[in-house]
């Protein structure tokens, strides 16, 4: 088992690592460590890569793992990939008022859901089951005509300081 104590960098932010990633792909030496969003929040974790190589993560408290992080680049080239998950994305039909945004944020917050606000103004949050779409349609019944709610499967990253916990 390989014990990892630090993150080498991220392939999406570091050109040198992106080049090493391409080389590892072509050599067949790339190992992918698939983690859930919840697992990525942990400082200590033991997990196997997709090909069965055991990795122990032992980071300092407060270290955050991100999609595309390289946790080993020397003997083993190991990249973290975040698992996609089901999310509801809310798109606003036309321009929403500040009261509407406040109502939507308050309702989602009362369900202890982390959120991600996109550049286009849409809001996404993770769900456990498709039935939650009906629940949120009921919760938003007063303003549902101003919204479009869709379930998507994607990598969810909450906005900084907006990560809540589920009950």
Structural domain boundaries in the chain: 2-82, 85-154
Average pLDDT, the chain: 91
Mean pLDDT for 126-137 is 95
Helix boundaries (H) for the chain: 15-27, 98-110, 132-139
Kindly indicate the confidence band of residue 84, based on its pLDDT and cuts at 50, 70 and 90: very high
Mean pLDDT for 28-47 is 94
CB distance 23 to 69 below 8 Å:
no
Instruction: Report the CATH fold assignment for 2-82.
Output: HSP40/DNAj peptide-binding domain (2.60.260)
Question: Is the predicted pLDDT of residue 67 greater than 50, yes or no?
Answer: yes
Signed CA dihedral, 30, 35, 41, 43: sign only: negative
Unique residue bearing structure tokens 């300081």: 161
Mean pLDDT for 146-161 is 91
How many helices (H) and strands (E) are present in the chain, helices listed first?
A: 3, 11
CATH code: domain 85-154 is: 3.30.70.260
Rounded CA separation 148/91 (Å):
5
Task: State residue 167's pLDDT score.
Answer: 46
The proportion of the chain whose per-residue pLDDT surpasses 70, expressed as a percent, equals: 95
Mean pLDDT for 4-31 is 94
Question: Is the predicted pLDDT of residue 166 greater than 70, yes or no?
Answer: no
């Amino acid at each position: 088992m390989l014990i990892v104590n630090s993150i080498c960098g991220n392939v999406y932010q570091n050109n040198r690592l992106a080049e090493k990633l391409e080389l590892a792909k072509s050599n067949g030496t790339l190992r992918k460590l698939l983690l859930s969003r919840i697992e990525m929040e942990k400082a200590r974790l033991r997990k196997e890569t997709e090909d069965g190589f055991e990795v122990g993560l032992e980071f300092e408290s407060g270290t955050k793992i991100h999609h595309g992080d390289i946790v080993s680049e020397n003997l083993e080239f190991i990249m973290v990939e975040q698992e996609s998950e089901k999310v509801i994305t809310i798109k606003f039909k036309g321009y929403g008022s500040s009261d509407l945004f406040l109502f939507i944020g308050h309702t989602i917050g009362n369900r202890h859901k982390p959120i991600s606000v996109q550049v286009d103004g849409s809001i996404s949050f993770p769900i456990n089951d498709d039935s939650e779409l009906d629940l949120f349609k009921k919760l938003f019944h007063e303003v549902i005509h101003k919204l479009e709610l869709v379930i998507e499967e994607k990598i969810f990253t909450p906005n900084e300081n907006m990560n809540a916990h589920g009950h």
